[in-house]
Chain A
Amino acid sequence: MTPRSHDRGEVRIALAQIATCPAQLGHNLERHLEMLDRARAVGAQLVVFPELSLSGYVVAHGVLEMAMRADDPRLAPLFAASREIALLVGLPLREPDGRISNAALLLEGNELRGVHRKLYLSAHGRFDERRWFMPGPRLQPLECSLGRFGVLIGEDAWHLSSALHLAQAGAEALLIMAGTPTELDAGNTPAGGRRWQHLVATTAITTVQPVLLADRCGWEEGILFGGCSGGVDALGRPLTTITSFFEEALVTVSYSRADTVFARSLQPAPCLERLELGRSTLERGHA
């Protein structure tokens, strides 16, 4: 198998569970470059970083200092690294009109291949993202030489229609970038991580696509993040075992395109989704 070909074989993606620090760009960038080195060493083709991986998550008005355009020179080390390995990085993206998006950039071959802007900004509990960011305007798969991926950031994935739309738009797998503040209860794993595991598996089963989650870990400004990076195949079967919630980890996930295609042949559920029902239900509701 040639690693970068559009074959029906194995796709190897590394999920970089890093502990970022808000407003410490040098520290965060170092975490990225180390993970990219490690990912190359294990033969990964693409590295997915968590939500706002470059700035840290609890950055608040720090976005004013941390937001950057896609051509910001501070991104140069990541563009350079993308000559060797594709990567999906999270950052506050400065838009031409001055507004700021919570965004994911897909870099490959020293080029920007695509951008996803978070659609559903979290604004409940301790979240206040609508205060710092503007919501993304559209949802479409991102493409690079490795394939066509659905990319979602955090709460995007909690709106089940997001994954469905991406599956119907031809995404071969769903990549979720998250930064999940968690609480600890009586369970053996952080509560936030357990919710993600249910959601990831449910999303995969109902949209028949592999779903991979890159989550951050550690502490920011007294907020605990319980990393639960991992992935499931198109039937919702775990492809990884979560072993480290609080520590950084490079989680390597491989899935088979052939297995995904076979699963979709048997369970063409997303292709059969009748989106017009939603519209007609809403219209009846208003009648």
Chain B
Amino acid sequence: MRELPAINLTLVSEALQGFLSEELRASGQKRYVLGLSGGLDSALAAALAVRALGPERLEAVALPGPTSSAASLEHARLVAEKLQVRLEVVDLAETGRLAAATLGIGEDRLRFGNLMARLRMVALFDRARRSGALVLGASNKSEILLGYSTLFGDSAASVQVLGDVWKTHVFQLGLALGLPREVVDKPPTADLWPGQTDAGEMGFDYLEADPVLYWHHEGGMNDEALVAAGFAEPLVTAVLRAYRRNRFKWRPTVIARVSSSCINVDRFLPRNPR
């Protein structure tokens, strides 16, 4: 069976810290704003930012909604305490209920989940404007490839520090950086409704999916080759179905090109000229 290749955790951690420092310097902004959900991804992004820039240049915001679990806020507080960062709690429960009623979302859990993810985005970009900050995203490579994110919700950020890091390695980095075990060990969840887990929704977990994704996305193996290499056919089918179905999320906006100077098609320009 082919495995996900290992990484040097020290080197990756050091490099990602350099990324966070340089993006802030190049943009001319003062700090990062991060939604601290109580989960591992945002905890790891916070830990990297604190190591790179110090706790005073990270503004952590917990954004509980009407259906968030109480443990999530506890874990966010635990991480903030561990990293010695200030944590602002912005309770989105009432806003979420009101917006859901206005939009007539009713009992549709998916629509409600997307709404909450996007309300969090609104709150984070507001805090970024208030503080002269960049919004630090915490999406990892596995969930981006699988499309397990809300477009313009949790996927919306100024920088994605973990966007090229497999979830398997996020677990390892979390342990290596000394994050609380209860945060590292708990099942990944978007916490959009009670009892929700990523694995429960997708039908497989990241540790199973990552080798399949790697050998397809990076290793060029197709479905048949993956099954021949020993991966279970239902797993390969489910993972690659999600991978293909959600590819539009990799590039969320497509501009209709009608000139010879279309942005990001004919003209690629550095983001921070000075």
Contacts and interface: CB of A to CB of B under 8 A. Distances in A.
A56 interface: yes
Interface of A: 19, 21-24, 26-27, 56, 58-62, 65, 184-190, 218-222, 224, 226, 245-247
Nearest to A247: B18
Given A190-B11, A219-B18, A246-B15, A60 B23 contact: no
A237 B22 CA distance: 34
Given A185-B7, A222-B19, A246 B269 contact: no
A62 B6 contact: no
Interface in B1-45: 5-8, 11-12, 14-15, 18-19, 22-23, 25-26
B269 A184 contact: no
B272 interface: yes
B219 interface: no
Contact of B8 (A22, A27, A188): A188
Contact of A23 (B5, B11, B273): B273
Contacts of A60: 268-270
23 contacts: A19-B22, A21-B270, A21-B272, A23-B273, A23-B274, A24-B26, A24-B273, A56-B270, A60-B268, A61-B267, A62-B273, A65-B273, A184-B7, A184-B8, A184-B12, A186-B5, A186-B8, A190-B15, A219-B18, A219-B22, A219-B23, A221-B271, A224-B19
List the 9 closest pairs (A to B, CB-CB), nearest first. A22-B270, A60-B268, A23-B273, A23-B270, A186-B6, A219-B22, A24-B274, A246-B18, A219-B19
Contacts, number: 71
A61 B268 contact: yes
A62 B22 CA distance: 19
A6 B5 CA distance: 51
Given A186-B8, A188-B8, A246-B15, A61 B23 contact: no
Interface of B: 5-8, 11-12, 14-15, 18-19, 22-23, 25-26, 159, 267-274
A136 to B, nearest CB: 23
B30 to A, nearest CB: 18
A59 B22 contact: no
A189 B274 CA distance: 32
A185 B268 CA distance: 29
A190 B274 CA distance: 29
Contacts of B267: 61
B11 to A, nearest CB: 5
Given A188-B8, A218-B22, A219-B19, A24 B272 contact: yes
A219 to B, nearest CB: 4
Nearest to B12: A184
A58 B270 contact: yes
Contact of B15 (A23, A56, A187, A224): A224
Contacts of B7: 184-186
Given A62-B269, A226-B15, 12 more contacts: A21-B270, A58-B270, A61-B267, A61-B269, A184-B8, A184-B11, A184-B12, A184-B15, A218-B22, A220-B270, A224-B19, A245-B11
Contacts of A226: 15
Most chain A beta-carbon neighbours within 10 Å: one of B11, B26, B268, B270? B270
Given A65-B273, A186-B5, A218 B18 contact: yes
Contacts of A187: 8, 11
A189 B12 CA distance: 10
Nearest to A131: B268
